[in-house]
Amino acid sequence: MSYLDKECYCPYCKSQLNIQNGFSFRNSKHICTECGRTVPVKMGRFASENDDYDVEDSVSEPQDIRSDAVEEFTENDIRIEDADVEMIMPDDDIDGSEKAEAVDVQPEPVKKDEELSEFDEEARKLEEFNERTERRFRAWKKQNMALIWKIRGITAAVVVLIAAVIMLSRLTKVGYNSIDLINRNYVEVVHQLEENGFTDIETVPSEELEIAEKGRENTVKSIKFGSKENFDADDRFMKGKNIKIVYRTLKKINLPISSKKIDDMNYTEVMEKFEKAGFTNVSVEPVHDLHFGVLHFDGEVDEVYVDGEKKFSDKDRCRPDVGIVIKYHTF
């Protein structure tokens, strides 16, 4: 048995030092993990399992520790040509008479390819299996390419058919020809389409009628399902399809005067301006608040209301039949 293979025990608690963490012959000393005592390693002598060796005696002995260590080596244990001998210098806390020791450091055994772990072997087998499976699949795919394309075509056709069935289930009949809905009141048309299940209906007014054409107001000018303007009663559309209905309304006209410019004007003059501008629903209302006619003169405009508002501008546009009330001072 070589020097490095010797079983060493703590001289205090008899615990084996070789199996303790941190123990090495290259260290100058070692702290026993069992008793916490410091054991001088470089002295080269340790207690055996049944030895009553006292470390204090070992420190005081002036003998050559190197010679004791060398006695345990055999010729087969020491080989200078292996270059595995490391000279360890004595530590500062050891007596100067102590000499350097030669410690044989054994290299770790190199793991060979045949010593694969069970896990590595399983991984290698799985990788080989996957490679074989992939090669077989590629070969099968090459031989059955026509069948694959046929299956793909059938699958695509089935998908299209299912999509068509789902789309048809969401379609609904218009129930009316586009010509039948033109010139009808747009409110009625909206109500009829909503009863058929259509939900996205947009109404847009078109200011194009003169006051003489007021009877045609709110009639449908055009109707579109998406971009389709002409359709039959049996045509089907998605219930959420956008429907745009354009209906006719009266043209709006500008007010002839601003509310800031009516002061000191006679009510007849103001009424004439509104009527010449095209407004047809103009009325006057006297305010009997004059007693002497000093502050205001008879017939002077008090206030003008346009659709209930007494503040307006000559840039405002209103329907020609909007209600206009002119109030004036009188006795």
- From the list 262, 239, 242, 256, the residue with the least C-alpha distance to 310 is 262
Name 204's bridge partners: 246
User: Mind listing the pLDDT tens digit of every residue in the chain (331 residues)?
Assistant: 455 567 788 888 888 888 888 888 778 788 999 998 888 876 555 555 555 544 444 443 333 434 344 344 334 443 434 434 344 344 444 444 444 444 454 555 545 445 556 767 778 888 889 999 998 988 888 888 888 888 989 999 999 988 877 777 778 888 889 999 999 999 999 999 999 889 999 999 999 999 999 999 999 999 999 999 999 999 989 888 899 999 999 999 999 999 999 988 999 999 999 999 999 999 999 999 888 767 888 899 999 999 999 999 999 999 999 999 999 999 8
